[in-house]
Amino acid sequence: GENVEQHPSTLSVQEGDSAVIKCTYSDSASNYFPWYKQELGKRPQLIIDIRSNVGEKKDQRIAVTLNKTAKHFSLHITETQPEDSAVYFCAASSNNNDMRFGAGTRLTVKP
């Protein structure tokens, strides 16, 4: 089955700096890669996703890149703000089946 590894486990940045979180996956059949943000005690919220037919997707300050050959994808947050502080999870699945999540990255943005 799919195995998703995520790093770093914790990340601390100054407000205004960029943050990058990286994930690798094992199953070459995986074709959907979402990123979720989870604030303390709240539900995971989808922030951006990418499918295997594109290499990059951007939504305002958030971007995701995908390298299918190397089987890794990354989340980039620019101009970080304190409200970006949360745990971020990457995930991978094949046609929305058997979604596997990474262990999460706790991002802290210092004002």
Partner 1 sequence: EAEVAQSPRYKITEKSQAVAFWCDPISGHATLYWYRQILGQGPELLVQFQDESVVDDSQLPKDRFSAERLKGVDSTLKIQPAELGDSAMYLCASSPDPGVDTQYFGPGTRLTVL
At its nearest, how many Å lie between partner 1 and the CB of residue 73?
Answer: 14
- Closer to partner 1 at the Cβ: 14 or 53? 53
Instruction: Return the exposure string of 29-43: e unless at least 16 CB atoms fall within 10 Å of the residue's CB, then b.
Output: ebbbbbbbbeeeeee
- Closer to partner 1 at the Cβ: 46 or 55? 46
Residues in contact with partner 1 by the rule CB under 8 A: 4, 6, 32, 34, 36, 42-46, 49, 51, 89, 91, 93, 95-104
